[in-house]
Structure 1
Amino acid sequence: MKPLTKTDFILYRNCPQNVWVKIHEPSQYSKFEVSDFEKSLTVMGNEVEEIARGMFPDGYLVEKRSDGAQELTKTLVEQKASVIFQAVFATEKYLAATDILVWNASADAYDMCEIKMSSTTADEESEVADDEEGKNEKPAPKKSSGRELQFEYDLAFQANVFENCGVKINKKYLIRLNKKYKKAGDLDFSENQLFITEDKTVAIDDLMPRVLIEMEEAHHLLSPAEMPTRPCPCYYRGRSSHCTAFSYINKDVPEYSVHDINRIGNSKKLLKELLDEGILHIEKVREDQLPKIKEAKEGQKPSKPRKQNQVAVHKSKKPIRDIYAIKAELSSLQFPLYFLDYETYPHAIPFFDGYHPYQHIVFQYSLHVLNAEDFKAGLPPKHFESLILDGDPAERLVESLCTNIGETGSVISWYKKFENSRNRELAELVPLRFEFLHSVINRTYDLMDIVDNQHYVHHGFKGSSSIKKVLPVIKDLLALPKNVLDYNVLAVKSGTDAIEAYRKILKGEIVGSAVEKKKQEMLEYCKLDTEAMYIIWKFFTNLVAQSVQDGKTAER
């Protein structure tokens, strides 16, 4: 077995079997495609590391994993080079590359610095790219006790390897972005500006002996040619926490299983009970096994029977419909209706003045507008859009929105927390439109609530309220052709695709006529999002009208 790397050691701590497959059966592991979201995080992480080197202008870069990297590192260390980027050392068992080594003359040793793309702020918003519970948006890297411990294990692994190779390490630092930093001109690398440096020496020194023991255990467990026999820890986790090779390791688990029950990852005891009883298929789950719905205390909202409803509709294949509740939701809307969707780029390093790390650049919107007269006449909504690919788009995009959204009428989004958060940020960036943007916030209705609040539950949603799970079901119910409103036929299929397209255009990786082609693809994608919202709204509107006419107000 090749020396165990820091990356594989961190992965091992999450799931040993997954790393065993990665090391011993790489052809199998490679079959599991890395998500676009994970790829974008890798690219962003590399960019953050490169920019952080600006704090040390005299550093020498050791080309990562290149031939002779270890010999070059050894020579630089012997010469007491002031700053070394990507220094590499290895033993027979382990290999580590550290982001930055800084010579500390007073200690006659090197200080070790690890760069992370996480923020220093614990309350960072969890909205970066695609989330199953919303508009397919996933959370931004966020400081937490689990993530913090992972960072400390990361540093401890490196320190153990380097000291095992005879390199004395003095201080151990964690360098990460300062969420409170606001760009004004050139990036500011001075203390406590763009980056914060945290001294982790005490924590790492205390952790190193324990990590060394785990390193030995990992090497011992991963070395044999046969997969470890102990159970895969991911087996007792919800689907979103499964390792890359989960389906290969756990071949008996169906594609849609109890691991997919809504928020089952937060009900670990329930999941374990089901699995220990041998229940993998959702149709085998008994009603008495699911948690009872507790009565709401005064001033609290009642809990929603998400798990119970998901299991019930999967068994019956009949939707749950609360027409009174749906009607109440839709009755709150006022024409004209504005179906609004943003595309954004949440880059770790702010590109434009006035932005913080990870603040979203709102570079595109799609807007379908339906007035009362057109609705009564059976006419489709009018479509407006804007896509700005040069400079800071905030002011121009807001002015375009201001032209197309009137002073009255409901703004409809899917997962409104995202759009409203962007509107608050835009209000700070474009203060002259503060009142307009806060008016939009106050008028925004979340169409996802009908699904998320369990007013309409269909087995095809599979416990999700993502628009990309809901739309195909509604299409089937409306008997629409498969290629209509189909994300899969688009060149830009997701928010992550839109982010990557914007990033490449911004950085000059797409140029010339290819820019115009990509622009049209981005416009098609965003337009589909708001058209999908209109179709879903129309479905629920017609469902209410027909049910009231038929005298059916609830089906459970």
Structure 2
Amino acid sequence: MRYLTKSRFKTGLECPNKLFYTKKDEYANQKDENPFLEALASGGFQVEELARLHYPNGHLVDDVQGDKYDYEEKVEETNQLLQNENVVIYEAAFKYNNLFIRVDILEKKGHQINLIEVKAKSFKEGYKEVKYNSEWKFYLFDVAFQKYVIEKAHPHFRVKPYLMLADQLKTASIDGLNQMFRIKKNNGNRTGIEKKEDQLAQLKFPEDSVLSLKDVTDIITKIEAGEHRILEEYEFEDAIEILAKAYQDDCYFGYPLDFAKCKHCEFKTDADSKDKKSGFEECFKKQLGWKEDDFKAPNAFEIWDFRRWKNLTDEGKLKLTEIEDDEFGDMKPKELGISRIERQLIQKYKSIEKDNKIYLDKEGLSREMTTWKPPYNFIDFEASTVALPFYSGQHPYEKVVFQFSHHIYQEDGRIEHANEFINVNPGEFPNFEFIRALKAALEQNTGSVFQFSPYENSTLNQVKRQLEASVELDKEDLITFIKTLTTPPKSNDYKGEVWEVKRMMIDLCEVIKAYYYNPYTKGSNSIKAILPAIFKTSAFIKEKYSQPIADINMTSKNFPSHYKWLRIKDGEIEDPYKSLDKPFKDWDTDFERKSDIEEINNGGAALIAYGLTQYTDMSTEERNTLREALLKYCELDTLAMVMVFEHLRESLLITEIDNIK
């Protein structure tokens, strides 16, 4: 029996064709990550354990299993518990035909069942409501699906649906709430969490919790009645039945392609999964008759920020040679820089013509650069938005900023990894120590400060709010410092607060979007895409960073002087992020580590690593190993910004650039 679970139901709602590819080893799946580590990064398991404290003395339908998952056993255990007049069950199991669900928390009172779906997601009455929209719809259909299965399996029960969520209007009543849920391997509990019972005993539930119960009966009723649909052709029950049958029969559904959704399909191959099949390509072969060469032709999936997917889907156009210029949108030239449509058309023609020369708005970039003041400062932060607060009085999902890196590019071309900060000590709230260290670093000079994306700006503004609510003796000085760098947020929470920015951070990503296009990026403006593109484009950058650190007028805090940022592997320049050492590569394989992470070379991995340092009782040696890897990763992030900066300056000196504006 192939069971349609709630996760597979969600996959089917995204696109029924995906059901044919899911859970098959022969197909690549870009979302096929470690679910435990994903939950760790989001705080999902801690939230689930806190939610259970709202319903004490519950019975856990255990998830421990052998080589094969025993669906019937879980259902039978649940049915036995449901014979009690009143009972609370964690992970209750229900089956109807080939539908199977596990309920996070089930509360039975006579014939009344309260279905409680716990999510590591926040809401805020009056600001961020739970309602049927793109943000909430899949969560709500998940709950509706669970309710449907329970009612079909037990028609005599009345089921009332709820979401249990982090409530941003609530604050923690004690310090260290997030430290009271520890990660334990193989403890027989799906969440892998062990609670500090003695410390949690001082709390009263639900009064002292940062979670709230949200009754979603009205929305679920509209889903059941067909007023809300994800698959527009099908009523709610019909959608369940057709998806269940497709999964049971293991047949390709043949659902019409929607290019906006196809763009984000996870069943694509990449360098790490090239030996597997591509479900994405199979769909196009079956429905559009594409051959191998068709996938090599430039298409709209490459175009940055393309928005007219419905038109393309309706007309069956995807290749750039098929798309007229006016189908990109109305041309509205910007006073400064390249407009969105201009940039898209530049990309279109360079892609069609296989022109890999960069496009540069030389005049605009030159004018922009005249406003930059040396020495040039490059900063990058790593922060975690934890569901459970560190301190009393804090709200859920307040940012915890645990790291920064700071490079300085001097007027004479000398590059210094001048400052860094990291705090991975468990249970320590680092934000105020972080901002003091950043203040000391940036006050060493009065040069321009660069970020890459608005992330640093928004992070500093949240730290500002935390300082305002704090009793720190130097909070006014720290707030004043933050205001020198950041633009005021537009959030309603600030009630229109404005301030004069004396040293506004320059967003290098916005500079790239406005004045520069490199065809090797394939439309991506991520620094992880721009950096490899620059290596292919710039002989200067390639030559300079192929030399040891000691030979290029540079200092580093985390890499030896003989280290080379650019290396050749199989005749190609290796991405320096992929060249970063795996932190535990030299460790004894017999040593039982608390962390499952193998490498830290992207932001997601950094968040997971930080979570591991906080919620596992790892050794000092293991924590220090993760700390060193985080320092190397963050240093590379700010050095990458330096490389982008150098390339932009270099580009202004080149006179033979195609299509200079």
Both structures adopt the same fold (TM-score exceeding 0.5): yes
Relative to the length of structure 1, the TM-score reads 0.84
| Secondary structure of 1:348's aligned partner | coil
Whole-angstrom CA distance in 1 between matches of 2:125 and 2:649: 41
Counterpart in 2 of 1:523? 631
Letter in 2 for 1:150: F
**Partners of 1:323 and 1:554 within 8 A in 2:** no
Q: How far does residue 191 in structure 1 lie from its aligned partner after superposition?
A: 5.2
Counterpart in 2 of 1:246? 280
Counterpart in 2 of 1:447? 508
Q: How far does residue 15 in structure 1 lie from its aligned partner after superposition?
A: 1.1
Letter in 2 for 1:389: V
**Partners of 1:157 and 1:212 within 8 A in 2:** no
**Partners of 2:86 and 2:109 within 8 A in 1:** no
Q: Structure 1 pair 322/143, CA: closer, same or farther in 2 (3 Å)?
A: farther
Q: How far does residue 367 in structure 1 lie from its aligned partner after superposition?
A: 0.1
2:451 to 413, 432, 453: 413
Q: Which has the higher helix share?
A: 1
**How do residues 357-506 of structure 1 correspond to structure 2 at under 5 angstroms?**
357-371=396-410, 375=411, 377-390=412-425, 391-406=428-443, 408-415=446-453, 417-430=454-467, 431-432=475-476, 433-441=478-486, 442=501, 443=503, 444-453=505-514, 455-479=515-539, 480=542, 481=546, 482-483=566-567, 486-490=576-580, 491=582, 492-506=600-614
Q: Structure 1 pair 225/184, CA: closer, same or farther in 2 (3 Å)?
A: closer
| Secondary structure of 1:504's aligned partner | helix
CA displacement 1:468-499 (0-9 Å, x = unmatched): 11111222333314438711111311011111
Counterpart in 2 of 1:132? none
Q: How far does residue 378 in structure 1 lie from its aligned partner after superposition?
A: 3.1
| Secondary structure of 2:616's aligned partner | coil
Whole-angstrom CA distance in 1 between matches of 2:406 and 2:304: 31
Q: How far does residue 147 in structure 1 lie from its aligned partner after superposition?
A: 3.6
**How do residues 10-159 of structure 1 correspond to structure 2 at under 5 angstroms?**
10-22=10-22, 26-29=24-27, 31-34=28-31, 40-43=37-40, 44=42, 45-64=44-63, 67=70, 68-105=73-110, 108-121=111-124, 145-159=133-147
User: Could you tell which deviates more after superposition, 439-448 or 525-534?
Assistant: 439-448
**Partners of 2:259 and 2:312 within 8 A in 1:** no
Letter in 1 for 2:404: Y
Whole-angstrom CA distance in 2 between matches of 1:302 and 1:555: 15
CA displacement 1:45-96 (0-9 Å, x = unmatched): 3332222112112222111485422112111111134311111111222112
Whole-angstrom CA distance in 2 between matches of 1:488 and 1:192: 45
Q: How far does residue 288 in structure 1 lie from its aligned partner after superposition?
A: 5.0
Counterpart in 2 of 1:138? none
Whole-angstrom CA distance in 1 between matches of 2:461 and 2:34: 25
Counterpart in 2 of 1:258? 300
Whole-angstrom CA distance in 2 between matches of 1:523 and 1:532: 14
Counterpart in 2 of 1:511? 619
Counterpart in 2 of 1:2? 2
Whole-angstrom CA distance in 1 between matches of 2:146 and 2:622: 43
| Secondary structure of 1:58's aligned partner | coil
**Partners of 2:19 and 2:246 within 8 A in 1:** no
Whole-angstrom CA distance in 2 between matches of 1:82 and 1:226: 40
**Partners of 1:345 and 1:499 within 8 A in 2:** yes
Q: How far does residue 464 in structure 1 lie from its aligned partner after superposition?
A: 1.6
Counterpart in 1 of 2:660? 555
| Secondary structure of 2:449's aligned partner | strand
Q: Structure 1 pair 225/399, CA: closer, same or farther in 2 (3 Å)?
A: closer
| Secondary structure of 1:254's aligned partner | helix
Q: Structure 1 pair 230/173, CA: closer, same or farther in 2 (3 Å)?
A: closer
Aligned identity (percent) is 23
Whole-angstrom CA distance in 2 between matches of 1:472 and 1:236: 27
1:203 to 199, 210, 219: 219
Q: How far does residue 389 in structure 1 lie from its aligned partner after superposition?
A: 0.9
**Partners of 1:16 and 1:222 within 8 A in 2:** no
User: Could you tell which deviates more after superposition, 284-293 or 521-530?
Assistant: 284-293
2:157 to 168, 172, 176: 168
Q: How far does residue 235 in structure 1 lie from its aligned partner after superposition?
A: 4.1
1:305 to 339, 342, 357: 342
Whole-angstrom CA distance in 2 between matches of 1:142 and 1:524: 40
Is structure 2 residue 221 aligned with structure 1 residue 221?
no
User: Could you tell which deviates more after superposition, 243-252 or 485-494?
Assistant: 243-252
Q: How far does residue 352 in structure 1 lie from its aligned partner after superposition?
A: 3.8
Q: How far does residue 409 in structure 1 lie from its aligned partner after superposition?
A: 2.3
CA displacement 1:78-121 (0-9 Å, x = unmatched): 1134311111111222112111111335xx42211111222114
Q: How far does residue 230 in structure 1 lie from its aligned partner after superposition?
A: 3.8
Q: Structure 1 pair 206/292, CA: closer, same or farther in 2 (3 Å)?
A: closer
Q: How far does residue 295 in structure 1 lie from its aligned partner after superposition?
A: 6.1
Whole-angstrom CA distance in 1 between matches of 2:409 and 2:255: 58
Q: Which residues of structure 1 form unaligned runs of 5+?
A: 126-140
CA displacement 1:360-385 (0-9 Å, x = unmatched): 211000001234xxx2x332234211
CA displacement 1:213-254 (0-9 Å, x = unmatched): 2211212333334322343x3545362355564245445463
| Secondary structure of 1:27's aligned partner | coil
CA displacement 1:531-550 (0-9 Å, x = unmatched): 11112112212322x25xx5
| Secondary structure of 1:145's aligned partner | coil
| Secondary structure of 1:240's aligned partner | coil
User: Could you tell which deviates more after superposition, 287-296 or 14-23?
Assistant: 287-296
Letter in 2 for 1:145: N
Moved over 6 A (4+): 122-125, 141-144, 551-554
Q: How far does residue 348 in structure 1 lie from its aligned partner after superposition?
A: 2.3
Letter in 1 for 2:280: F
Q: Structure 1 pair 238/160, CA: closer, same or farther in 2 (3 Å)?
A: closer
Q: How far does residue 393 in structure 1 lie from its aligned partner after superposition?
A: 1.0
Q: How far does residue 22 in structure 1 lie from its aligned partner after superposition?
A: 2.0
| Secondary structure of 1:42's aligned partner | helix
User: Could you tell which deviates more after superposition, 57-66 or 397-406?
Assistant: 57-66
**Partners of 2:308 and 2:328 within 8 A in 1:** no
**Partners of 1:37 and 1:496 within 8 A in 2:** no
Whole-angstrom CA distance in 2 between matches of 1:485 and 1:170: 53
| Secondary structure of 1:381's aligned partner | strand
Is structure 2 residue 544 aligned with structure 1 residue 539?
no
Q: Which residues of structure 2 form unaligned runs of 5+?
A: 178-202, 226-234, 269-278, 468-474, 487-500, 547-565, 568-573, 583-599
Whole-angstrom CA distance in 2 between matches of 1:514 and 1:405: 31
Q: Structure 1 pair 273/458, CA: closer, same or farther in 2 (3 Å)?
A: farther
Whole-angstrom CA distance in 2 between matches of 1:333 and 1:50: 50
| Secondary structure of 1:76's aligned partner | helix
| Secondary structure of 2:446's aligned partner | coil
Relative to the length of structure 2, the TM-score reads 0.72
